[in-house]
Structure 1
Amino acid sequence: MCLLSGDRRCTVASTPSGLGPDGQEVTGPLSWYRSFTREGRRAFKGAFGGFALDSYDFQVLPLSMVAIAGYFSLSTAQTGLLTTVTLLMSAIGGILAGVLIDRVGRVRTLMITVGTYALFTVLCGFALNYPMLLVSRAFQGIGFGGEWAAGAVLIAEYAKSRYRGRVLAFIQSSWAVGWGLAVIVSTVVMDTLDPAIAWRVMFWTGALPALLLVYVRRKVQDAPQVTRRLTKEGRVPLSSVFQGALARKTFFATLLATGVQGGYYTIATWLPAYLKTERGLTVVGTGGYLFVLITGAFCGYVTAGYVVDFLGRKKSFALFAVLSGGLLMAYINIPQGSNRMLLVLGFPLGFCASAIFSGFGAFLAELYPSAVRGTGQSFTYNVGRACGAFFPTSVGFAAGDEGVGGALVYGVMGYAVALIALVGLPETRGTELS
């Protein structure tokens, strides 16, 4: 019963929080990293790299959206569908990966998902028509959906409870690293090559994650307690996360993920097009404005980790949901001719819209016991992402009448949904993982 109840009293830490692998107290700004064993540090690097390259491969599409739309003569609804199918298929990938995480291990699942999203990102670059691109992007979404949960669960089980919020926040910050790299590459490629070939080159650079697989295969392994459980214990059915005390957590955690990701992907998908089409910025100009947003995002990820550990998980989600929704409303209502204000608000918007994600890795890991941690975390996050996909899709359909800027209000609605979801979830700060 203890295995499936999710009761915090049933979990035991192998090393007291705040102590390093040698049993000595660790202090200083990087105490969270110094508290890891050698295996924990390798796991951190593998999870960080996996999510950064996951971000890179995802961002290739939004950054190439205008060129793709011109090449295939697509409507805004059709271009929006490319993102929607990615996020919808990420739910399937997330569910499959969740089962694999709890049955074959975190590291093996991480390798499978990274290889999948890298392969199909490259294949997108060879698409001869819109249906081929749509199908390739759908399969890319399967790998995209499973990678985050595999890496997050892997490192959460190495982290001490005292530092778990900031550790997972630094993992989350790798999204901004991958996004920034994609913007730099896109700015160079789109500015130097003909748009008809430039978008294909962007997708072909999605082969980069293959290099990470070599490191993960040779250096990274599951936490020892997980390895023992996988070899000694029977399999727990997928349905366990929908039973008893876990059912309520699964529902509201999925709703929380829906709202947060609905708001975020509305911004990430449509902001480049908004800056180009309605603000009249060039490719280089758009890259500059996005870089300010991304710098804010990175700072938000790493700073929020400390907020999550200090305020707790629920208060942090509420704080950043309110700020993200308010800043997005302010951003899209900046008058024409005042583009400098876009730079001013770009940093705090990127900061808050990304900071809200810093609590997910720790919070979802703490909601579930070890036997179904991968299943629960991957299901809630990725099904929430799939449901959240309807927010940027709504922008695509509404943009014809209201313009992209006016339709971005759907992102604000996503953050409102996140606030409602918090009512049904418990606070988990201080939970020790078995």
Structure 2
Amino acid sequence: MSVNTLRQQTPTDDTAFGWLRALGPRGRRAFAGAFGGYALDSYDYFTLPLTMVAISAYFGLDSGQTGLLTTVTLVVSAVGGALAGVLADRMGRVRALLLTVITYAVFTVACGFAPNYETLLVLRAFQGLGFGGEWAVGAILVAEYASARHRGRTLGAVQSAWAAGWGLAVAVCTLVFSLAGDDLAWRVVFWTGALPALLVVWVRRSVHDAPVAAAVREAGAGKGSFRAIFRPATADAPGLLRTTVFASLLSTGVQGGYYTLATWVPTYLKDERNLSVVGTGGYLSFLISGAFLGYLTGGHLTDRLGRRRTIWLFALLSAVCILAYANLPAGADTLLLVLGFPLGFCMSAIFSGFGSYLSELYPTAVRGAGQGFTYNTGRAVGAVFPTTVGFLADGWGVGGALVFGAIGYGIAALALLGLPETRGRELT
């Protein structure tokens, strides 16, 4: 049976859930595994930003030290993501996915037992190894099941799992901090990071690699390597160096802006807007609701407008929303609440095209290496943004320093000038 027959039976089905039906039974199981893995990846990541105020008070940290916890996570995630990408090419997408989920779950739980700041910093770094690899591997797994017609919205739906995990983390954090004192509550939140263990059991039994990836690996061509994605163009071959450089720059800009907000908005709401933990949860619910819809909407737009136009559009809108959110006058709490929705919508919609775009930029044999490296290099370099905000916050205030995130979206817009449009490209 051909790869095309296995992949898609109803390419013209553009109904609301046509993309899901088109995946077929095995593709839908792959989607569920990738969605669950990314949701729990998000959950485990947000155990830190949502508990940073309590951790800072417990260990007596300044803003720079607190920001370093996030930076270390993101920098090490670049290493984990790049390695996971190569492993996905060599040992298969599903096996690599399982390895990343187990890694981030084990070290998130371990963070809850940290006796001091230094230990927490090291454990959070190891958590970054698994955290960095999960998205790239899961996105590739689903992209190789999806048709070119539906790939944008399919990967946008996978991306929406980030908002689902974020929302779950906010709900759990709000509940735990309401029932326990701050000194214990932050530890309990980390311990709940054991949830992914349930997903691992199901994925191992039910999810398989797409035929296109399995065929390449069985033929001995699945030898993902960093050398291949940095090969310059020659007279005989186009090369991938230009793609890798500009895709890394694109990822850096988008993630620099995003992680600035994800890391510091909870602190901004608590420390500068004087909201309680419960009150902060209410404000974040608007941000997360917007994020969830942004992922889904952005996925559809990437299929209709193209990958580059959609990313350009939301880079501009995200920068505008950050500037507006961070510069609202004191007392404008209702407006702050309402503005959280478009802010979450725009900063998440820009991510919707990433899974499909990066998958389409690389051939199957090195897709894991290419996507894993570029996406997670963006995480590592983009990690400078939340750390910079941490150091600037002492003089500018968190709200004033947040505008630094808008610079990231400008970098992303410029990076697109060096990349092609890939809408409609088949993964062969």
The TM-score bracket by the shorter chain reads over 0.9
What whole-Å deviation, never above 9, does each CA across 1:56-100 have from its counterpart, x for those lacking one?
Answer: 000010000000000000000000000000000001101110110
Give the match for residue 170 of structure 1.
Answer: 157
What whole-Å deviation, never above 9, does each CA across 1:128-161 have from its counterpart, x for those lacking one?
Answer: 0000000000000000000001100000000010
Q: Distance in 2 between matches of 1:346 and 1:108?
A: 38
Give the match for residue 375 of structure 1.
Answer: 369
Q: 1:299 aligns with which of 269, 293, 308?
A: 293
Native 8 Å contact 2:302 2:310 kept in 1 = yes
The answer on 1:243 being equivalent to 2:231 is yes
Amino acid at match of 2:278: V
Give the match for residue 110 of structure 1.
Answer: 97
Q: Distance in 1 between matches of 2:104 and 2:11?
A: 41
Q: 2:315 aligns with which of 321, 326, 329?
A: 321
Give the match for residue 261 of structure 1.
Answer: 255
1:174-185 paired onto structure 2 within 5 Å: 174-185=161-172
Amino acid at match of 1:14: N
Give the match for residue 423 of structure 1.
Answer: 417
Identity of matched residues, %: 61
Change (3 A) 1:24 1:277: closer
Q: Distance in 2 between matches of 1:58 and 1:365?
A: 24
| Mean Cα deviation higher: 236-245 or 169-178 | 236-245
Report deviation, 1:350: 0.2
Native 8 Å contact 1:13 1:433 kept in 2 = no
What whole-Å deviation, never above 9, does each CA across 1:231-283 have from its counterpart, x for those lacking one?
Answer: 22142532010013310000000000000000000000000000000001011
Native 8 Å contact 1:165 1:362 kept in 2 = yes
Count how many residue pairs are aligned between Structure 1 and Structure 2: 420
Give the match for residue 90 of structure 1.
Answer: 77
Q: Distance in 2 between matches of 1:433 and 1:227?
A: 13
SS of corresponding position for 2:64:
helix
The answer on 1:349 being equivalent to 2:336 is no
Q: Distance in 2 between matches of 1:122 and 1:344?
A: 34
Q: Distance in 2 between matches of 1:36 and 1:419?
A: 32
CA RMSD of aligned residues (A): 1.3
Q: Distance in 1 between matches of 2:151 and 2:196?
A: 26
Native 8 Å contact 2:224 2:368 kept in 1 = no
Report deviation, 1:27: 4.5
The answer on 1:79 being equivalent to 2:85 is no
SS of corresponding position for 1:423:
helix
SS of corresponding position for 2:4:
coil
The answer on 1:281 being equivalent to 2:271 is no
SS of corresponding position for 2:350:
helix
Report deviation, 1:24: 8.0
Q: 1:339 aligns with which of 333, 344, 347?
A: 333
Amino acid at match of 1:408: L
Give the match for residue 390 of structure 1.
Answer: 384
The answer on 1:14 being equivalent to 2:14 is no
Amino acid at match of 1:90: S
Change (3 A) 1:341 1:186: same
SS of corresponding position for 2:283:
helix
Amino acid at match of 1:275: L
Q: Distance in 2 between matches of 1:396 and 1:156?
A: 36
SS of corresponding position for 2:48:
helix
Amino acid at match of 1:323: L
Q: Distance in 2 between matches of 1:314 and 1:433?
A: 18
Q: Distance in 2 between matches of 1:312 and 1:204?
A: 41
Report deviation, 1:225: 2.3
The answer on 1:38 being equivalent to 2:32 is no
Q: Distance in 2 between matches of 1:400 and 1:25?
A: 55
Q: Distance in 1 between matches of 2:254 and 2:213?
A: 30
Give the match for residue 236 of structure 2.
Answer: none
What whole-Å deviation, never above 9, does each CA across 1:281-312 have from its counterpart, x for those lacking one?
Answer: 01100000001100000000001111110100
What whole-Å deviation, never above 9, does each CA across 1:101-147 have from its counterpart, x for those lacking one?
Answer: 10000000000000000000000000000000000000000000000
Change (3 A) 1:24 1:368: closer
SS of corresponding position for 1:221:
coil
Q: So what's the TM-score if we normalise by structure 1?
A: 0.95
Give the match for residue 174 of structure 2.
Answer: 187
Amino acid at match of 1:414: G
Native 8 Å contact 2:59 2:117 kept in 1 = yes
Report deviation, 1:50: 0.2
Amino acid at match of 1:101: A
User: What are structure 2's unaligned runs of at least 5 residues?
Assistant: 233-238
Native 8 Å contact 1:90 1:143 kept in 2 = yes
Report deviation, 1:343: 1.1
Amino acid at match of 1:121: T
SS of corresponding position for 1:318:
helix
The answer on 1:56 being equivalent to 2:43 is yes
Change (3 A) 1:161 1:209: same
Give the match for residue 235 of structure 2.
Answer: none
Change (3 A) 1:298 1:349: same
Change (3 A) 1:168 1:338: same
The answer on 1:432 being equivalent to 2:422 is no
What whole-Å deviation, never above 9, does each CA across 1:165-191 have from its counterpart, x for those lacking one?
Answer: 000000000000000000000001111
The answer on 1:155 being equivalent to 2:149 is no
Give the match for residue 212 of structure 1.
Answer: 199
Q: Distance in 2 between matches of 1:333 and 1:257?
A: 26
Q: Distance in 2 between matches of 1:248 and 1:288?
A: 44
Give the match for residue 55 of structure 2.
Answer: 68
Q: Distance in 2 between matches of 1:379 and 1:157?
A: 18
Report deviation, 1:192: 1.4
Native 8 Å contact 1:13 1:432 kept in 2 = no
Report deviation, 1:402: 0.4
